[in-house]
């Protein structure tokens, strides 16, 4: 009686096993090799916020301006007034410096001043005031109701602070700026005191997203 031959058991080919394992791991490795996470903004990232997403006010020529007018650019909205003694001119000067630091991309930054003092801020005052920072920046001036509604949309606070005599008053107000990306989406809340260099770093990041 013949004993059946035992099947020959071959040892696994080490090279083949390594190649198979590498092939299985490749998709996982590639999944982990996406573009590196972007650095955090230096300003407050409010991307997707349910406020500061609508702007509709007349400019100094009476033309209604909206965020759609600034597609492709980097509009920065600031609420202030011409007789502001400190925060407003300091903020607008910082924005003008940021525009210079942006170099050839500087014309993409457009400053938009929304006056919170339409009672005193006439077009004759606003026009040269804004132009002193950049000739193509704009001021928006609504009536009292329009100004209040827009400020609420941006969660901006303001009120009169009585002065020593009638007609001489200052305005307490939120001292921050709002940056929109080239697609018209709200992106950044820029605190008072932010440097031009820090703002430029954020703006360059927004521009890089569109490249």
Domain-embedded: residue 30? no
**pTM of the entire predicted model:** 0.81
CA distances from residue 52 to 130, 177, 180 in whole angstroms, order as listed? 22, 10, 9
Domain-embedded: residue 34? no
* pLDDT, tens digit, 9 for 90 and up, residues 176-210: 999 999 999 999 999 999 999 999 999 999 999 98
- Under the banding of pLDDT at 50, 70 and 90, the label for residue 211 is confident
| Virtual torsion, Cα 117, 113, 192, 190, nearest 10 deg | 140
| Virtual torsion, Cα 71, 72, 78, 84, nearest 10 deg | -110
Domain-embedded: residue 49? no
Range of the domain at 121: 56-210
Token couple for 190: 């820029």
Domain-embedded: residue 22? no
* pLDDT, tens digit, 9 for 90 and up, residues 10-67: 555 555 544 454 445 444 444 445 556 677 999 999 999 999 999 999 999 999 999 9
Domain-embedded: residue 2? no
Domain-embedded: residue 183? yes
CATH number at residue 135: 3.40.30.10
- Total domains in the fold of the chain: 1
Domain-embedded: residue 12? no
Pairing of strands 169-173, 74-80: unpaired
* pLDDT, tens digit, 9 for 90 and up, residues 147-163: 999 999 999 999 999 88
Domain-embedded: residue 83? yes
């Amino acid at each position: 009686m013949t004993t059946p031959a035992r099947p020959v058991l071959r040892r696994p080919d080490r090279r083949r096993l390594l190649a198979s394992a590498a092939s299985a791991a490749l998709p996982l490795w590639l999944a982990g090799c996406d573009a590196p996470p972007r650095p955090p903004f230096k300003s407050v990232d409010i991307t997707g916020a349910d406020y500061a997403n609508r702007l509709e006010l007349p400019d100094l020529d009476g033309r209604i301006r909206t965020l759609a007018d600034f597609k492709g650019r980097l509009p920065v909205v600031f609420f202030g007034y011409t007789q502001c003694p400190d925060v407003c001119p300091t903020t607008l000067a910082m924005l003008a410096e940021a525009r210079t630091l942006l170099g050839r991309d500087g014309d993409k930054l457009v400053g938009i001043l929304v006056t919170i003092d339409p009672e005193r801020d006439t077009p004759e005052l606003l026009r040269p005031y804004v132009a002193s920072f950049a000739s193509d920046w704009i001021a928006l001036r609504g009536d009292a109701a329009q100004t209040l509604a827009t400020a609420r949309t941006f969660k901006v606070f303001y009120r009169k602070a009585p002065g020593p005599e009638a007609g001489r008053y200052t305005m307490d107000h939120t001292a921050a700026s709002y940056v929109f990306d080239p697609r018209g989406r709200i992106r950044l809340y820029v605190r008072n005191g932010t440097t031009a260099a820090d703002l430029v770093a954020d703006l360059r990041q927004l521009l890089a997203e569109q490249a």
